[in-house]
Amino acid sequence: MLRIIRTLYGDERRRVLYYRHDNRPIDRLRGSCRAWGPLVRRMLFFLVACALAPPCAVRCEARSQAAGSAHSEKSAEQIAQRALEHAIIIDTHADTPQMMLDEDYDLADPQSPYMISLPKMRAGHLGAEFFSIWVSVDWPKQDLIHRALDLVDVVYEQVGRHSDALGLARTAGDIVQLHRQGKIAILMGVEGGHQIEGDLHALDIYYRLGVRYMTLTHTKDDELGDSSTDSPRWNGLSDLGRRAVERMNRLGMMVDISHVADKTFYDVLEVSQAPVIASHSSCRSLCDVPRDMTDDMVRALAKNGGVMDINFYSGFLDPAYRDAHQKIEKEENAEVEAARRRYEQEGKRFGYAEEVTIEHKYESQLPTPSYQRIADHIDHAVQVAGVDHVGLGSDFDGINSAPRGMEDVSKLPDLVRELARRGYSEEDLTKILGGNVLRVMRQVEEVSHKMKPEP
């Protein structure tokens, strides 16, 4: 605890690196330093939160195989409508907190340029969002927890500011209760094991603050294990990683295997006593990228009882987009960097919205897949894992290209209609849209209760 408080008072005049995109690093300079007032407020918030918290503790052919025979347009519309009315749609990954923290982005902004906003969540029938507490792997090492706590703080701040529409959920039961009240449940997941700074006690603190999953790595190997986008350092999960998984099981925090290397994934399955999740990963057999999961991994995850939440990033869904994007990536990055430098020379801040404008110019030249490609990945995962092990993990606001027709969270009902057209029943849709994640959360809670006897 004391070490973390010292971290909170760490060097404020620091170089800050932003990596907004899931797979593409971007550096930025943040010129201003913060005053002590907000810092003290954040520290008080952190201490109060700790004190108040409970004790520690695919296409047509595949389509019909996965979902039964296709429904007529009319019955599909009826099934989709019923699912939208009754199911709790849970998205397990969105990176919006960065915008909230760095640009004072308010979720209620009716002119929001981002993929997640309150009006868009309402239009999309969203029941629960897991906001990502994500700090770049290149952030100053002694300041990772500080930045993560700042992100947790802005999530609390937004939930408090819009308490008529949002509520913080700590359990599966909370999500159901908030849904009954007509509110959207907000949850948090820490994206990247580097954000515990090698100290397992940080897991307890994140848990007390409401964090309900941690992704073991981000884009680089960390103290807990190897990443899918780095060369092997541990040959899978490290000893500390094994102890982290055990501690997360005990706390009741879901273990997220998105981003980890294949070997790390299999090691986690050997260690974890509870089902695990892939909060934002798609199918490698449909798009060969290391961030996606092989069919063998998907099967193993199902055997473990876990859930794989399909990532909406065009580059993880579609090989044609992936290849075309690789060709223009350098030029696009160079233009973003040049614009950033220009803004800095003019003494202005280069914001996420400016960056998105440049990206759109490049993205518009690419063969962006249709949102139906998301349904292809869901179909494939259902074929391989079964309908009880697939969900949604959009990665909204962490990606620079979402499929056509799925530009933001408001478009989710179109995906529900597409799945109904492909033959999914209302019961199947209820599972895929959020029921499977709720089930895993409940199982993780049960394992925690068993491992942690009442004091």
Smallest distance, Å, CB 132 to Zn ion? 4
212: nearest Cα among 240, 270, 172, 259: 172
Q: What x-and-dash track marks residues 339-368 binding Zn ion by CB under 5 A?
A: ------------------------------
Query: Residue 132's closest CA among 289, 256, 7?
Result: 256
Q: Which amino acid is at 12?
A: E
Beta carbon nearer to Zn ion, 191 or 332: 191
What is the number of the residue whose Cβ is closest to Zn ion? Answer: 398
Q: For residue 23, state whether it binds Zn ion (rule: CB under 5 A).
A: no
- Which residue shows structure tokens 């199911």? 87
- Under the criterion CB under 5 A, does residue 379 sit at the interface with Zn ion? no
User: 67, 90, 95, 409: which one contacts Zn ion (CB under 5 A)?
Assistant: 95
222 binds Zn ion per the rule CB under 5 A = no
Q: Does 97 bind Zn ion (CB under 5 A)?
A: no
Q: Which stretch binds Zn ion (CB under 5 A): 110-118, 127-135, 323-331, 403-411?
A: 127-135
Shortest approach of Zn ion to residue 176 CB, angstroms?
26
Binding of residue 292 to Zn ion (CB under 5 A): no
Q: Which residues, in sequence order, are bridge partners of residue 166?
A: 184
Asked if 22 interacts with Zn ion (CB under 5 A), we say: yes
* Contact between residue 309 and residue 391 where contact means Cβ atoms under 8 Å apart: yes
Shortest reach from residue 95's CB to Zn ion, in Å = 4
d(CA 36, CA 23): 34
CB of 22 to Zn ion, least distance (A): 4
DSSP per-residue letters across 228-290: TTS--SSSSB-HHHHHHHHHHHHHT-EEE-TTB-HHHHHHHHHH-SS--EETT--BTTTS--T
Find the binding residues for Zn ion in span 385-424 (CB under 5 A): 398
Considering beta carbons, is residue 262 or 426 the nearer one to Zn ion?
262
Distance, in Å, from the CA atom of 308 to the CA atom of 419, rounded to the nearest integer, reads 17
Taken in order 377, 414, 182, 130, is the CA torsion positive or negative? positive
Q: Does 132 bind Zn ion (CB under 5 A)?
A: yes
Q: How far is the CB of 192 from Zn ion (least distance, A)?
A: 8
Which tokens in the block code for residue 94?
């969105």
Q: Does 256 contact Zn ion by CB under 5 A? A: no
Q: What is the DSSP letter of 185?
A: E
Tell me the residue type at 285. S
- Which residues form the interface with Zn ion (CB under 5 A)? 22, 95, 132, 134, 191, 398
